[in-house]
Structures are given as structure tokens and as C-alpha cells.
Amino acid sequence: METKINTGAIFKNDKKNKETQPDYRGRVNVDGKELEISLWLKTSKAGTSYFSAAFNPPYVKQESATPKEVNPTINDLPF
């Protein structure tokens, strides 16, 4: 999803399995830079609800290397 500059979208994290995982996740665009946002719903000692937030670069899945990429001479064996 492409976002306009200085906008974003946040959704409830329906895949939350652990308390350490965020309650909400999304993507925002800050001054033209795409970021992922994670939000945790918390309660202060005084009983006030608030969000704790974390911003990170977008996750990019690493491609697994083929054997030839790992060792380019693997197909050059003499037998």
C-alpha cells in the first residue's frame, strides 16, 4: 500500500500471539520516508490508557541464496 507524504494507516494486529507483539501495526510516510509503526496499548500507574509506539524501516524478506550463489564454483567441479 502506497501512502501519501505525512500520512499512514494503522490496523489491529489480529495475529498477536505474545504480549510483546504490538496491538496495532501499520505503515506511515514521514517526509517521504516509508516506515512501519507498531503500537502497544498500555495503562499508566494513574490508570490512563495510552499508546507506546515504535517506528522501524519496512521489513524486507531476505531471499535464500542458491548453492551456486553461495559457492560459484560448485558447478565447475571436474567430475
pLDDT value, residue 71: 60
pLDDT value, residue 39: 98
The structural domains of the chain, with segments of one domain joined by +, span: 1-59
Q: Which residues, including other chains, have CB under 8 Å from residue 39's CB and lie 6 or more apart?
A: 10, 22, 23, 24, 25, 51, 52, 53
Residue ranges in the chain modelled with pLDDT below 70: 1-2, 65-79
